[in-house]
């Protein structure tokens, strides 16, 4: 009995020591990656003891905040240009940047059967509003504009566009019915290999530039053990499986 009590006390002591050595890291996360990152962060904390404190928003807004001294230690961007730019400017740690996910764009409606498998609903024009993310600050918004231009539809739909500050807000417009249609991140409407709700056209990747989403350790996270641990965890098989379950490629 004394041996068991000693063993339990030892395990408790080790657990306390592990918690004491754990660190927090502030992470700026592209809005499209909200759901998978919440799941990854929970698993990361459970397995390592480190805590990722997450903030979600548009990549362009995060760039401005980081440039103005925001205390983020990691950026999970919606593109590959912003992390590279931060690296060139000395605001990110050289050699830490990598692509954690390849995003897919979808034309989505909260209405069942409203969007056809080829996206011809865009040409029909019997809708009043089409939601997109701000193309100046959100890569998914820029991709949506490219698609509309390639399909020769921009002049026809321009007056119907409603812009969200981020892809999260574009999704909100469509999900609430304020816009009948929206260009959203596939990850926002995709779960475990299928559409979670509504109807959608998964936009062929050939219609826009690849949406390469890069992660990078920022200058404020350089010496943070939690930053190193999270970057390693994002490359793990477990994290990749979570990422793929939301419709991304890895």
The C-alpha atoms of residue 187 and residue 243 are separated, in whole angstroms, by 9
Q: Residue 13: what pLDDT? A: 45
Q: Residue 139: what pLDDT? A: 87
What's the CATH fold of domain 2-102+211-245? D-Maltodextrin-Binding Protein; domain 2 (3.40.190)
pLDDT band per the 50, 70, 90 thresholds, residue 10: very low
Q: Residue 191: what pLDDT? A: 86
- The pTM (predicted TM-score) of the whole model is 0.80
Copy the structure tokens of residue 46. Answer: 């459970």
What's the CATH fold of domain 105-202? D-Maltodextrin-Binding Protein; domain 2 (3.40.190)
Going by their DSSP bridges, the two strands 161-164 and 130-133 should be labelled as parallel
**Which sequence spans correspond to the domains of the chain?**
2-102+211-245, 105-202
Mean pLDDT of the chain: 91
Strands (E), 58-210: 74-76, 98-103, 105-109, 130-133, 161-164, 181-185, 190-191, 194-195, 199-202
Q: Residue 14: what pLDDT? A: 41
**Would 2-102+211-245 and 105-202 be classified into the same CATH topology?**
yes
Q: Residue 109: what pLDDT? A: 97
Segment 158-170 shows an average pLDDT of: 94
pLDDT band per the 50, 70, 90 thresholds, residue 192: confident
């Amino acid at each position: 009995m004394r041996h068991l009590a000693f063993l339990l006390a030892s395990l408790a002591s080790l657990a306390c020591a592990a918690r004491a050595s754990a660190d927090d890291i502030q992470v700026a996360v592209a809005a499209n990656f909200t759901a998978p990152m919440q799941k990854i962060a929970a698993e990361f904390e459970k397995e390592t003891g480190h805590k990722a404190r997450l903030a979600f928003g548009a990549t362009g807004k995060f760039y401005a905040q980081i440039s103005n001294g925001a205390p983020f230690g990691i950026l999970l961007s919606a593109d590959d240009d912003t992390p590279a730019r931060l690296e060139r400017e000395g605001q990110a740690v050289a050699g830490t940047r990598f692509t954690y996910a390849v995003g897919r764009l979808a034309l989505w409606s909260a209405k069942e059967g409203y969007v056809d498998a080829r996206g011809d609903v865009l040409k029909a024009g019997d809708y009043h509003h089409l939601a997109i993310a701000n193309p100046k600050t959100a890569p998914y918004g820029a991709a949506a504009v490219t698609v509309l231009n390639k399909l020769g539809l921009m002049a026809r739909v321009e007056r119907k566009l409603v812009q969200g500050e981020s892809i999260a807000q574009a999704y909100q417009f469509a999900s609430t019915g304020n816009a009948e249609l929206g260009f959203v991140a596939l990850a926002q409407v995709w779960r475990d290999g299928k559409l979670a709700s509504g109807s959608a056209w998964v936009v062929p990747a050939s219609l826009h530039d690849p949406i390469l989403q890069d992660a990078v350790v920022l200058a404020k996270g350089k010496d943070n053990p939690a930053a190193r641990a999270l970057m390693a965890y994002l490359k793990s098989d477990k994290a990749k499986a979570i990422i793929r379950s939301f419709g991304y490629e890895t």
